[in-house]
Amino acid sequence: MRKQVKYIVIFSLIVLYAGTNCALAQIYVDTVYQIQTVTDIIYGNATEFSGQERELKLDVSVPLNAPLPVCGRPLVLIIHGGAFLEGSKDDAGIKLLRQDFAKRGYIAASITYRLGFFLTNQNLNCNVPKWNCLNATEESEWIRAWYRGVQDAKGAIRYLLKQTNDYPIDRNQVFLLGESAGGFISLGVAYLDQEAEKPISCGAVNAVTLPNPSYYDACIAPNIWDIPIAQMNTQRPDLGPVSGLLHTDAPDYHIVAVANMFGGLIAELFSEYSGKMPDLYTFHQPNDLIVPFGYSRILQGFNDCAVAANCVNMINRPFVYGSAAITQLIDTLNIAEADKPIVQFEQTTNTSNCIQQVIDPATGGHQYDSYWLRTTQAATFFASRIQENTCLNGIDKAPAISNPIAVDVMPDGLRVRNIGAVGIIELFDLSGKKIITVRAAPDSVHILLAPLSGLFIMRYITTQGIQVHKLMFTK
């Protein structure tokens, strides 16, 4: 026979009203909370450049002891770099970013995305590390690799938004942070919102010749997209819509801001954007050899160093916009000022040349000058834009709350009485995991529950206010 569950209200009623709660902003800056992490969650499958199917995975960290906002926690998606050829959500720096943002109060996730592109069939060789592996068969291969990453990241966001029981995310508070190639992808997720912006090269284009066999051991075998060259499918079909094809049944979401760490734009995406653009924090060093500070071909500094070492020029590299060029693009946009993103552009005075950077890697330009400074600056930029209670918009209007709701003990759950307005009743455990959601009409509602034990949070949300109760469940 089922044991009767006893419910004891141990916390006095709190009524909060809709609107921005500025006092909470600091919790999204300081790394003060304990976290819990789940790794290697499969969020979808997609076709790689070579025709192979790839599982896409993410890791997610959540704060355990942070106050749970009425509408859920902000989400930050962390995207790794690696020239679209390598890198992982398991990189030490990416793990640290995910953990640190969860400790600030975010639900923080890092992802894998499709890597790789067709290398040239020419037998090009240079005795400079990785030089050989960065010679694509066409410029369009860089663009298609970026586009696949954008599609995957958008699919990861939608996947997380569907997991409402595990991850109470405020879908109006989505943020992105990417490093290097991950910065390119983050900017694409934030600003590529119109099918008219889809690059022509991401439609169906001509097939390519297979990469030169000399690239296999050094460039293909060490990477996750390893496949024998002879098994590669050289057809290049249409890559699909800018939003991708994963979890298209998820609710809409709003990207508030993006942080670009020494990445850039692979195409101009601002002039066609619809509405107010996400705000932008961008960090770059002027002597970056990988992603240009201004407008130039990707890897231009690296290429120039290799040429100085008696290499020939690398081939088939697209022009891209670095942080300085992006800022200039935004400044000169011929659109309403209210629709332009607010930009916080930070740079260093680092001028070390490629020889100095080789001799002393600490002077390198394609990296943080200070991880803690730049990521805290990005977190502060994000925190100032977080708004509480956005989920109250659209809840049915009803008379103002006149009396506190009452919670009755029932053998099979809860009965909530004195409901004064149409709204939502939610129950969470202390980690923020949602147990149940019930839409409540005036008068009372009977909520069926499985046996529970421990401390839980119950919220009653309306357009007039929010009532929050802490409940101790004992068997």
Per-residue model confidence as pLDDT tens digits over 409-419: 677 778 888 88
d(CA 174, CA 161): 10
SS3 158: helix
Write out the DSSP string of 272-309: T--SSPPEEEEEE-TT-SSS-SSEEETTHHHHHHHHHT
Give, for 382, the enclosing helix (H) or strand (E).
helix 371-383
Rounded to the nearest integer, the mean pLDDT of the chain is 88
- What mean pLDDT is predicted for residues 360-366? 95
Considering the domain 21-388, what is its CATH architecture?
Answer: 3-Layer(aba) Sandwich (3.40)
106-159 pLDDT tens trace: 999 999 999 999 999 999 999 898 999 999 999 999 999 999 999 999 999 999
Check whether 325 has a pLDDT greater than 50: yes
Taking CA atoms, 471 is separated from 365, 407, 421, 423, in Å, by 53, 10, 22, 19
Q: What is the pLDDT of residue 170?
A: 92
| More confident of the two residues 267 and 412 | 267
Query: What is 392-474's CATH number?
Result: 2.60.40.3080
- What mean pLDDT is predicted for residues 99-105? 97
Check whether 277 has a pLDDT greater than 80: yes
* Start and end residues for every CATH 2.60.40.3080 domain found in the chain: 392-474
Q: 269 with 188: CB under 8 angstroms? A: yes
- What mean pLDDT is predicted for residues 71-96? 96
Report the percentage of the chain scoring pLDDT > 90: 69
User: pLDDT-based confidence at 446, cuts 50/70/90?
Assistant: confident
Q: What is the pLDDT of residue 380?
A: 96
* Start and end residues for every CATH 3.40.50.1820 domain found in the chain: 21-388
pTM score: 0.84
Q: What is the pLDDT of residue 395?
A: 54
- 454 beta partners: 473
Check whether 168 has a pLDDT greater than 70: yes
- What mean pLDDT is predicted for residues 211-229? 94
Phi, psi of 206 (to 5 degrees): -60, 150
